[in-house]
Amino acid sequence: MGFLRSYESLVISSLSRFSRQTAFVVALGVGVSCVSCGGRGGGRGGDSRDGGGGGPAGDNLLIVSIEPLRFLVDEIVGDDFEVGVLVPAGASPETYEPTPLQMRAAEDARLVFSTGVIDFEHVMLQRLSSPERFVDLSAGIELISSVDGGAHVDADGHGHAHGGVDPHVWVAPRGLARMARTAYERIHELYPDSTSYTANYARLSERLAALDRTVAERIAASPTRSFMIFHPGLTYFARDYGLRQIALEHDGKEPSVKQLAETVGLARAEGVSKILYQSEFPRRVVEVMAAEIGAEPVEIDILGYDIVGNILKITEFIAPSATPVPKD
């Protein structure tokens, strides 16, 4: 397997390049999100909220840790709030830490929504003067421990170190639905008289239930029972639909040459035709692997705003059908 030798040198060069790239994106991303936090806050309506409107900017501000959570919160509160995001889409903070400006925004915000399982969220929680405004959206979700149980930091922005838990709870319709419910409950506690939030949540909840049905039906109708992915971001998705996730990455690190050789064998045995990967990870490593087993590298997005659309795309990659997945 001559490709393994070239893989070795590839890993080294792509890793060092990736770190430099990451540092740049983090610096850029944090600046952008600070602008959006402090930005349009003020004069928004708040008409549907009891006692809302007219207050300082913080009254109209909600903070979320990652983009998919902004989708959930937006769907519930509509235009009543400015929703600031800490890690913008496309950013890959290897060791992300909230900036002082972001901490100030979090202090001002009515609520800070987190997945509850990403390391930097806990750093933030520890620094917040009123931790009761911190919302852990993983509540009620049966968490999965990370494969090797070891502590490591993800290149896509979240450490798996926190309690050895796999953090990708939002990349699954059922997890998302539970997160939406917790978000709604906390918002409803603050604004019990708002009927629009209740109606919005009911609509969101139905949409996520429909997403779950679509994915379940699609996978049941497909012969696919396993899929290959660079970084194991679909652990909860795989669990919920009875699929086997074969990850190239081991314990948060790129595979060793020995591990890669084993995975090549497994991929051939399973008849893998696609390798899923996130843009936050070095594509060239995936390409080498894909070429070796004759598979197609397919880019997925699990950190973007449109998590419903992205889950539908992932479903189509894993369980392709003659007719495309209906647009949500």
Chain residues binding Zn ion by CB under 5 A are: 154, 156, 233
22 vs 156: CA distance, rounded Å:
9
> Of the two residues 7 and 281, which places its CB atom closer to Zn ion in the complex?
281
Helices 307-318 and 173-190: angle between axes, nearest 10 degrees: 170
What sign for the dihedral angle of Cα 160, 164, 168, 169? negative
137 vs 168: CA distance, rounded Å:
12
Q: Shortest gap between Cβ of 106 and Zn ion (angstroms)?
A: 22
- Quick one: tokens of 217? 């039906």
Q: What is the dihedral of CA 77, 83, 86, 88, to 10 degrees?
A: 90
Q: Shortest gap between Cβ of 218 and Zn ion (angstroms)?
A: 23
Q: Shortest gap between Cβ of 232 and Zn ion (angstroms)?
A: 7
> Of the two residues 165 and 293, which places its CB atom closer to Zn ion in the complex?
165
Paired with 276 in beta bridges are 229, 298
> Of the two residues 133 and 168, which places its CB atom closer to Zn ion in the complex?
168
Q: Shortest gap between Cβ of 160 and Zn ion (angstroms)?
A: 7
Q: Shortest gap between Cβ of 140 and Zn ion (angstroms)?
A: 21
Q: Shortest gap between Cβ of 206 and Zn ion (angstroms)?
A: 28
Q: Shortest gap between Cβ of 159 and Zn ion (angstroms)?
A: 9
User: Which residue has its beta carbon closest to Zn ion?
Assistant: 154
> Of the two residues 82 and 249, which places its CB atom closer to Zn ion in the complex?
249
> Of the two residues 233 and 304, which places its CB atom closer to Zn ion in the complex?
233
In order of 8, 15, 27, 213, 295, the CA distances from 292 in angstroms are 14, 20, 36, 35, 8
> Of the two residues 61 and 234, which places its CB atom closer to Zn ion in the complex?
234
8 in Cβ contact with 259 (< 8 Å): no
> Of the two residues 77 and 276, which places its CB atom closer to Zn ion in the complex?
276
> Of the two residues 231 and 274, which places its CB atom closer to Zn ion in the complex?
231
- Give me the long-range contacts of 93-97 (CB less than 8 A, separation at least 24): 93/22, 93/25, 93/26, 93/29, 93/120, 93/157, 94/19, 94/22, 94/26, 94/153, 94/154, 94/155, 94/157, 95/153, 95/159, 96/26, 96/120, 96/157, 96/158, 97/123
Q: Shortest gap between Cβ of 67 and Zn ion (angstroms)?
A: 14
Residue 291 makes CB contacts below 8 A (sequence gap 6+) with 3
